Amino acid sequence: MWAAARRRLVVAAGVNTNPVIIRRRLGDLRRAGLVEVRHGAGAGWSPAREPEKITLLEVYDAVDAQPTFGLHHTDPHPECPVGRGIRPALSGVYDRVERVMRQEPANTSIADVLRETLVNQPAGRWRAATAPLVVTKKSQQLNEE
């Protein structure tokens, strides 16, 4: 338990946030089936599937499943011609934009992001600290370079 808490502190410090936020997001990812938790000796979190098989869209949907564009939460006045027509007009546009915006993260894996993140990093302590987070053939090759 203490080792897992220390790792959350390290991750939280690395992204400059509170460890509670990290714990909540990891819980979201666990509920979505994207990470697994290990209890007891060697406690921690790990991807539930190969990182190449987890998309950014899955992560996004797990931690922030809200529409990109939102409409006002109250209905406009029904006798107003603009108010009556604005929701249907904007809803169609927003739905089309949302579909297009979801395509890129659907085609990007977390392994892609890790490779891109580490590609220009010196082989110092941060690169060494993140290397064990994702161990795949591709990430092993990257870490050996």
Where residue 7 sits, what CATH number does that domain have? Answer: 1.10.10.10
pLDDT tens string 71-112 = 777 888 888 888 888 888 888 899 899 899 999 999 999 999
Residue 8 has a pLDDT of 52
- Please list, in sequence order, all residues whose beta carbon lies within 8 angstroms of the beta carbon of residue 111, skipping any fewer than 6 positions away: 50, 51, 52, 54, 134, 136, 138, 139
Whole-angstrom Cα distance, residue 20 to residue 24? 6
Q: Which residue has the higher pLDDT, 108 or 120?
A: 108
Number of domains in the chain: 1
Residue 87 belongs to what domain range?
A: 2-144
pLDDT at 12 over 80: no
Please give the C-alpha separations between residue 84 and each of 76, 78, 87, in angstroms, as whole numbers: 7, 6, 7
Residue 143 banded pLDDT, cuts 50, 70, 90: very low
pTM of the model: 0.67
